[in-house]
């Protein structure tokens, strides 16, 4: 076999490696319908990780505490007091008494209103934490899968460039190519190896991001994200209604209600609660019965500054709610637009991009074998083919991220996780 024949066969083999990698990627990315079981497996995996995540466990403990505080607030403010008195003087005195402070100011009801609003706010925060962890986990999985696919392309590039460098050495030794062409081949091989090392490092970093969520769970249990993403779902609720139902917006709204309830509580705490006491016993040979009424005098402290502070906190909570809802509405519209754009771009690539890559590979192969394409031109087209594959990976990653953000910004992640209403 002549050098030229070996060269053509070798380059055809290199093209086959790249074409195979592109075709495998295109076959994976061009799925028209998603397997429902894959979607369900992914959702189950996310729920499993979220339920045991430390941040969610901490939020659950905070919810338990707020529920306990609410139960405590429902109990009476004052316990009765029992008093015994014995006195031995000229006249022996023995008495027993009981006293009870009365909640005439409605403090108990006010405390319960505050505790209930705070518990509901913590409950909304708990949901927000679950969503945040879910989106973080999905994003980490998407980054890991993207980096893994990018490393596969880098491996194909490195293998092809190594074979190309070896063939260039043979042709240089036989005098078929110049020193400059040989140096270009060696340089291309070195760059491919560096790119492979960089891609391997990126895989390790993205893997660590997933491990931060899943702990010691083995990689073979991590789900794949090769699913068809749904379009923007139409709902009967308008954007404002969907935004106000988001957990972090709901939490801000409930914080405002709690702050308002605290104003009422502080005002009621200024009201005077009397204490009734009943005492009976013996003083010598005489029976002793006494009824006392004690009323505190707000002379040194009227507690009006507590009301002023509570009112300021209420106004602060209202402004926070306004800012949170405004930002959530802006994020809702932006996430929807970005997801629709990403979906359209991905669909366009599925319709045209992968077919164009395969057609280009076949055309390059025919032209090279026919001697109508120079080695330099082939390398340029070769690089463009792989760059197109990497661009497709970035496009798919962008679509995933846009989907995660849209589910979080619109509240659809609740239905996706199967958490109901």
pLDDT greater at residue 232 or residue 125: 125
In CATH, what is the architecture of 3-416? Up-down Bundle (1.20)
What is the average per-residue pLDDT within 73-82? Answer: 92
Residue 293, Cβ neighbours under 10 Å: how many?
9
277 vs 43, 103, 295, CA distance in Å? 63, 15, 11
Question: What pLDDT is stored for residue 239 in this prediction?
Answer: 85
State the sign of the Cα–Cα–Cα–Cα dihedral 350, 145, 148, 224: negative
Contact 265, 303 (CB under 8 A): no
pLDDT greater at residue 255 or residue 288: 255
Taking the C-alpha atoms of residue 4 and residue 275, their distance in angstroms, rounded to an integer, is 110
Give the three-state DSSP class for 359: helix
Enumerate long-range contacts of 260-265, CB under 8 Å, 24 or more apart.
260/314, 260/317, 261/110, 261/113, 261/114, 261/117, 262/114, 262/310, 262/313, 262/314, 263/307, 263/310, 263/311, 263/314, 264/110, 264/113, 265/107, 265/110, 265/111, 265/113, 265/114, 265/310
| Band (368; pLDDT cuts 50, 70, 90) | low
Contact 82, 74 (CB under 8 A): no
The alpha carbons of the chain give a radius of gyration, in whole angstroms, of 37
Question: What pLDDT is stored for residue 148 in this prediction?
Answer: 92
Taking the C-alpha atoms of residue 406 and residue 235, their distance in angstroms, rounded to an integer, is 14
Residue 39, Cβ neighbours under 10 Å: how many?
16
What is the average per-residue pLDDT within 11-23? Answer: 48
User: Per-residue pLDDT tens for 294-329?
Assistant: 998 888 888 899 999 999 999 999 999 999 999 999
User: Structure tokens of 170?
Assistant: 């043979």
User: Per-residue pLDDT tens for 90-103?
Assistant: 778 888 999 999 99
Residue 249, Cβ neighbours under 10 Å: how many?
22
Question: What pLDDT is stored for residue 374 in this prediction?
Answer: 66
Question: What pLDDT is stored for residue 183 in this prediction?
Answer: 84
Give the three-state DSSP class for 282: strand
User: Structure tokens of 94?
Assistant: 């023995």
Give the three-state DSSP class for 420: coil
Question: pTM of the prediction?
Answer: 0.80
Among 114-128, 230-244, 394-408, name the most confident range: 114-128
324: Cα separation from own chain's centroid: 17
235 vs 245, 410, 412, CA distance in Å? 13, 10, 10
Query: At CA 140, angle to CA 144 and CA 341, rounded to 5?
Result: 95
DSSP state of 224: P
Question: What pLDDT is stored for residue 31 in this prediction?
Answer: 45
Enumerate long-range contacts of 32-37, CB under 8 Å, 24 or more apart.
32/228, 33/228, 34/227, 34/228, 34/229, 35/227
Share of the chain above pLDDT 70, in %: 83
User: Structure tokens of 348?
Assistant: 């366009």
Instruction: Tell me the average pLDDT of the chain.
Output: 83
34, pLDDT greater than 80: no
270, pLDDT greater than 60: yes
What is the average per-residue pLDDT within 146-161? Answer: 87
User: What is the chain's length?
Assistant: 421
Question: What pLDDT is stored for residue 10 in this prediction?
Answer: 47
172, pLDDT greater than 70: yes
DSSP state of 234: P
12, pLDDT greater than 80: no
22, pLDDT greater than 60: no
DSSP state of 105: T
Share of the chain above pLDDT 90, in %: 43
Taking the C-alpha atoms of residue 118 and residue 70, their distance in angstroms, rounded to an integer, is 8
Residues 39, 40, 43, 48, Cα dihedral to 10°: -140
What is the average per-residue pLDDT within 183-201? Answer: 89
Question: What pLDDT is stored for residue 110 in this prediction?
Answer: 94
């Amino acid at each position: 076999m002549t050098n030229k024949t070996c060269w053509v066969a070798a380059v055809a083999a290199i093209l086959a490696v790249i074409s195979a990698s592109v075709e495998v990627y295109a076959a994976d990315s061009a799925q028209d319908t998603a397997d429902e079981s894959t979607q369900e497996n992914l959702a189950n995996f996310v729920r499993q990780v979220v339920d045991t995540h430390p941040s969610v466990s901490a939020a659950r403990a905070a919810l338990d505490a707020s529920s306990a505080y609410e139960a405590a607030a429902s109990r009476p403010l004052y316990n009765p007091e029992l008093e015994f008195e014995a006195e031995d003087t000229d006249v022996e005195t023995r008495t027993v008494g009981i006293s009870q402070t009365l909640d005439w100011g409605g403090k108990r009801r006010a405390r319960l209103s505050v505790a209930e609003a705070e518990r509901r706010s913590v409950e909304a925060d708990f949901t927000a934490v679950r969503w945040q962890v879910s989106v973080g986990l999905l994003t980490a999985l998407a980054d890991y899968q993207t980096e893994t696919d990018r490393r596969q392309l880098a491996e194909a590039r490195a293998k092809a460039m190594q074979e190309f460098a070896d063939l260039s050495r043979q042709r240089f030794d036989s005098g078929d190519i110049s020193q400059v062409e040989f140096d270009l081949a060696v340089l291309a091989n070195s760059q491919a190896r560096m790119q492979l090392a960089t891609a391997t490092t990126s895989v390790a970093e993205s893997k660590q991001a997933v491990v931060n969520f899943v702990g010691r769970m083995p990689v073979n249990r991590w789900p794949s994200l090769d699913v068809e993403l749904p379009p923007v779902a139409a709902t009967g609720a308008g954007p404002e209604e969907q935004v106000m139902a988001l957990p972090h917006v709901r939490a801000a709204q409930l914080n405002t209600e709690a702050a308002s309830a605290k104003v009422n509580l502080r005002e009621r705490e200024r009201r005077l609660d009397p204490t009734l006491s009943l005492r009976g016993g013996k003083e010598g040979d005489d029976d002793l019965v006494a009824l006392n009424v004690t009323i505190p005098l707000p002379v040194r402290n009227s507690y009006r500054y507590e009301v002023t502070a509570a009112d300021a906190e209420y106004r602060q909570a209202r402004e926070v709610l306004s800012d949170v809802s405004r930002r959530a509405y802006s994020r809702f519209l932006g996430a929807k637009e970005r997801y629709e754009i990403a979906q359209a771009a991905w669909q366009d690539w599925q319709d045209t991009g992968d077919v164009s890559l395969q057609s280009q590979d076949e055309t390059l192969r025919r032209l090279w074998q026919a001697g109508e394409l120079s080695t330099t031109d082939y390398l340029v087209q070769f690089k463009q083919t792989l760059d197109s594959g990497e661009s497709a990976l970035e496009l798919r990653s962008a679509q995933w991220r846009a989907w995660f953000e849209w589910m979080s910004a619109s509240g659809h992640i609740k239905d996706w996780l199967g958490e109901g209403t």
